[in-house]
Structure 1
């Protein structure tokens, strides 16, 4: 028996079903084809998700910051773009380097794109903490691009060639203005590649205000997670500001948003939440700082 559709047909199974349905309903072939083509034109844009085969378990990437993974259910979700932000000098670049070093030690390929520091300066920064970056660069696990004047297209080519699992962009404020970030076609192409290849990236940004101010920019809204680094005074006796870190946002993760203290050491950022300071004490200090700054602003206006 001769089949209705030859084995060599270029029509997909979906297309055949549409043709058969309209042929049965309408009969006239020209109308059938017109309706079928219109139907195919709309259905081809529908997302086809095989929900049965989607991995329900979220894979986590170790951050390299001792203690932080415990607050993130095991680390950053793989493929996330995490914003690392805060005022100048709060350890954002150190945090990012430590994150990459965790990757290369595990045999993962990593890239550091800096838009404001020379590669030699970055290598010296790494070396300060005893990290032998030269070895990882020579072995092909780490690439560092300093004061990058690369276009987004060139960065896409580098990523396609190197096939990294971790990337740091430092700092995005130099790459693009916050207001243009989410609508930038250049960034959207780069962001699409990161998501497609499940590359877990840190996007370093700058804030002109401290952690006490509830103000967010377009970088924060686009990121899958936001980690804020700052210095605050934690008690009345010792007035020396202490470094703190707050996970302000992390999709698909239960987090404690309260800022927690950490320490800088000769080997990088030491244990997260290293000091036994109650969360409410830190929160009170932040509220006090916010009130002081608001009072200062009011007196300046007068």
Structure 2
């Protein structure tokens, strides 16, 4: 039987594509999660810059922090980020002030999707990073309705044809929420104390239609940004 070849796009992170059969499936939504300081935003910026370098129009959507702060952080590793922002290949959207001003309540999935849909369609966006997902709260309490609301959000992004990263804080590494099950893939970044040193690692928990590695792989910040090495972080001891 002939094997079906699936189109893939690069994550832009050195060493990561090799763990997921060459990259991500276009037009799908992926969850990027982990504790503070693990490298989530940097990984998201690598993903966007990879698209910009290929001539795509990409967008970073911030729900809390000024998106220019993420650009300044990335300039340490890749000064071209400023060039792509200046040429409008990499668009920055600060939705935080708008969404919080619209209501006394925490922004909802529906209000965020409405804004993103407008922007993505007007600008013909192909890659999107939403940071942080945990700034959005459910407007309802029923667990079943919560899952349905998030499912509509994920489906709405996929209907736009964009490949999206949803960045979320995760301090309890054993607690999984609805987005873990609804996203097409889950990449978890770890940041933990090992022999009196803080060590970073990457783990692919889930990747639909992909034969992927499942172990912990050492992640390091280099002069060019975040890189994944094909060895266990415990070998560093």
TM-score category by the smaller chain?
Answer: 0.7 to 0.9
Identify which of 214, 221, 224 aligns with 2:181: 221
Question: CA 1:222 to 1:277, structure 2 compared with 1: closer, same or farther past 3 Å?
Answer: closer
Q: Which has the larger radius of gyration?
A: 1
The aligned counterpart of 1:182 is 147
Provide the C-alpha distance between the structure 1 equivalents of 2:67 and 2:201, rounded to a whole number of angstroms. Answer: 28
Task: Provide the residue aligned with 2:164 in structure 1.
Answer: 201
Partner Cα distance (2:165, 2:146) in 1: 15
Q: How far apart, CA to CA, are the structure 1 residues paired with 2:74 and 2:198?
A: 25
1:273 aligns with 2:229: yes
State the TM-score, normalizing by the size of structure 2: 0.82
1:77-118 residue CA offsets vs partner (Å, 9 max, x unmatched): 111211000111111111101111111011111011111111
* Contact kept in structure 2, 1:119 and 1:147, CA below 8 Å: no
Equivalent residue, structure 2, for 1:80 = 28
Moved more, 111-120 or 131-140: 131-140
Q: Is the 8 A contact 1:172 1:203 kept in 2?
A: yes
Indicate the structure whose relative CO is greater, using CA pairs within 8 Å and at least 6 residues apart.
Answer: 2
Corresponding residue SS for 1:133: helix
CA contact (8 A) 1:227 1:245 kept: yes
Cα contact 2:117–2:160 (8 A) shared by 1: no
Alpha-carbon RMSD = 2.4
Separation in 2, partners of 1:147, 1:98:
21
Kindly state the Cα deviation for residue 277 of structure 1 after the two structures are TM-superposed: 3.8
Indicate whether 1:248 and 2:205 are aligned.
yes
CA contact (8 A) 2:120 2:160 kept: no
> Out of 90, 95, 102, which is 1:142 matched to?
90
Aligned to 2:47: 99
- Structure 1 residue 219: Cα displacement: 1.2
Structure that is richer in helix per residue: 1
Query: 1:62 maps to what in 2?
Result: 10
- What residue ranges of structure 2 are gaps of 5+ in the alignment? 100-110
SS in structure 2 at match of 1:262? strand
Unaligned runs of 5+ in 1: 1-55, 286-302
Q: Structure 2 vs 1, CA of residues 125 and 175 (structure 1 numbering), >3 Å: closer, same or farther?
A: same
CA contact (8 A) 1:118 1:147 kept: no
